[in-house]
Structure 1
């Protein structure tokens, strides 16, 4: 009898622990939203974002694989709460934003801290310790790009490993699939994750083939653009060119925009003729997005639906695209739109500097998250938008 009572007590304690963790997470989110979005000073807002982002470089909050907010402790114990692949691009966005902030503030101490934390990062250390590129997927490529952009001491070794990974990911079409097991599928995420790294490898190695890879990856996706539009589908099936998923998913358009903007920046910097083609794509997409901005300056998770919920990660990425469109064209309407996007992000930032209203991780084509919370990737991209706009502040 005593044994059964003990077992029952243990089970009750475990159930209570699971319920307490769920309740703690939920109440923490609600408490964080009290007096949310009362930021008025741009620089103070950036400092708050950076403080939070900097604290996350050692222990970053995980973006969960599932939408459910229940049985979190049980999922953690089972090892199914978070996914390594997701955390790779989350960390990448965080470090890219902080690197831009350190350069803007001329903060050498922060720059050194970022290098140290990147060198110590589990995904970077494991990547260099295990020279088997076939073990990795496209998800991690943006983190490699962040290492190269930050200029860490291990950047040369990462560049070599990244070149090998890009080669191992090539399909018969000469471009990269998002998943090795789906060589005939293309996802828009790959343009934002892989193209910047391909260009960075071209700069470091001097190999023309990496410039060609980046351009081909973008041009290949033209078949999946909405007819008469610049909006890319979430994915497409190569054999028949069937578009898959939404065309107006804001983070998907954001991935496309990130690839275009980084390619344009690097190509312009290194005198590449392909920069003109990227500029035309940026301007066409920015032109189409302008009338779809919400009244607060942000974008919904489905940009073409006025009633769709505001989404932070897409807004940050599309804000960067609008800024790039201004720098290409000199038209103030694009700059004003970029500042409005920043204002919208300020309006969903918690008192402690955590950016809110980021859509959770997508589970697959057509399987979009219905969770709105924090996301380290979006935190970094919002910070990057803010510090990039500092250079244009006097013109606004």
Structure 2
């Protein structure tokens, strides 16, 4: 009888622990949103974003694989709560934003710390320690780009390893698959994750093939653009040209925009003639998005539906697109749009400096998350957008 009581007590304690973790997360989110969005000073907002981002470089919040808010502790125990693959691009956004912030503030100490932290990041160390490209997927490529952008002692090693990874992802068409098991399917995520790294590898290694790869990866995706539009489908099946998923998914358009902007940055920095082609794409996409901007300055998770919920991660990437469109064209309306995006992001930032209303991890083509919460990637990219706008103050 005593044994049964002991077992029952343990089970009750475990059940209580599971319920407490679920309740703690729920209450924590509600408490964090109390007095949300009361930021007026954009520079004070930058400091708050940066403080949170720096703290997350030491212990980054995991983005859940599933939307459910129940049995979180059980999901953690059995290793099903978070997907390791997503952590690479989450960390990348965080470090890219902080690197831009350190440059803006001319903070050499922070720059040195960020470079050191990147070199010691578990995903970077394991990438260099295990020279087996087939072990890694596209998800980590933006983190390698962040390492190359920051420079540092391990940049050359990372460039070499990244080149091998890019080669391992090539298909018969000469471009990269998002997943090796799906060589005939292309995802828009790959534009944002892989193209910046391919360009950075070209610049660092002197291998011009990677310039061609980055540009071809973008141009190949023209088959998946909405007819008479610049909006990309979430994916497409190459053999028959079938589009897959939504055309107006906010983060999908954001991935496409990020790839265009970072590729343009690299091409123009190194005097490449392809920069003009990227500039035309940037302007066309920005032009099409302008009338879809919400009254608060942001974009919905489905940008073409006015009633869709505001979404931060796609919004911040479209803000970077608007800023780049202004720098390409000099047209003030694009800069106005970028500052309005910043204002919208300020409006969904918690008192603690945590950017909120980011859509959760996508489960697959057509399986979009219905969770809106924090996201380290968006936190860093919002910081990057804001500090880049510092140089444009007074022009809007």
Equivalent position of 1:177 in the other structure: 177
After the TM superposition, which of the residue ranges 113-122 and 376-385 deviates more from structure 2? 113-122
Equivalent position of 1:195 in the other structure: 195
CA distance in 2, matches of 1:267, 1:105: 26
Secondary structure, counterpart of 1:394 in structure 2: coil
Equivalent position of 1:204 in the other structure: 204
Equivalent position of 2:388 in the other structure: 388
**Superposition deviation, residue 117 in structure 1:** 1.1
CA distance in 2, matches of 1:177, 1:205: 22
**Superposition deviation, residue 63 in structure 1:** 0.3
CA distance in 2, matches of 1:91, 1:170: 25
Equivalent position of 1:267 in the other structure: 267
Equivalent position of 1:119 in the other structure: 119
Secondary structure, counterpart of 1:57 in structure 2: helix
**Superposition deviation, residue 152 in structure 1:** 2.2
CA offset digits 1:318-358 (Å, max 9, x no partner): 00000000001100000000000000000000000000000
Equivalent position of 1:158 in the other structure: 158
CA distance in 2, matches of 1:264, 1:142: 16
CA distance in 2, matches of 1:153, 1:27: 43
Equivalent position of 1:14 in the other structure: 14
CA distance in 1, matches of 2:82, 2:154: 27
CA distance in 1, matches of 2:115, 2:206: 24
Equivalent position of 1:301 in the other structure: 301
Unaligned runs of 5+ in 2: none
Secondary structure, counterpart of 2:58 in structure 1: coil
CA distance in 2, matches of 1:4, 1:114: 54
CA-based RMSD of the aligned residues comes to 0.5
CA distance in 1, matches of 2:334, 2:235: 28
**Superposition deviation, residue 247 in structure 1:** 0.2
CA distance in 1, matches of 2:61, 2:113: 19
CA distance in 1, matches of 2:29, 2:241: 42
Does the alignment pair 1:25 with 2:21? no
For 1:281-296, list aligned pairs within 5 A: 281-296=281-296
Does the alignment pair 1:221 with 2:224? no
Equivalent position of 1:335 in the other structure: 335
CA distance in 2, matches of 1:193, 1:169: 13
CA distance in 2, matches of 1:69, 1:104: 38
Does the alignment pair 1:92 with 2:75? no
Unaligned runs of 5+ in 1: none
CA distance in 1, matches of 2:107, 2:313: 26
**Superposition deviation, residue 266 in structure 1:** 0.8
TM norm structure 2? 1.00
Secondary structure, counterpart of 2:116 in structure 1: helix
For 1:26-175, list aligned pairs within 5 A: 26-175=26-175
**Superposition deviation, residue 112 in structure 1:** 1.2
Secondary structure, counterpart of 2:353 in structure 1: coil
**Superposition deviation, residue 176 in structure 1:** 0.3
CA offset digits 1:100-127 (Å, max 9, x no partner): 0000000111111111211111100100
CA offset digits 1:25-76 (Å, max 9, x no partner): 0000000000000000000000000000000001100001000011111111
Secondary structure, counterpart of 1:80 in structure 2: coil
CA offset digits 1:161-195 (Å, max 9, x no partner): 00000011100010001000000000000000000
CA distance in 1, matches of 2:109, 2:356: 28
CA distance in 1, matches of 2:327, 2:304: 25
Equivalent position of 1:256 in the other structure: 256
**Superposition deviation, residue 258 in structure 1:** 0.3
**Superposition deviation, residue 394 in structure 1:** 1.9
CA distance in 2, matches of 1:36, 1:96: 25
**Superposition deviation, residue 281 in structure 1:** 0.2
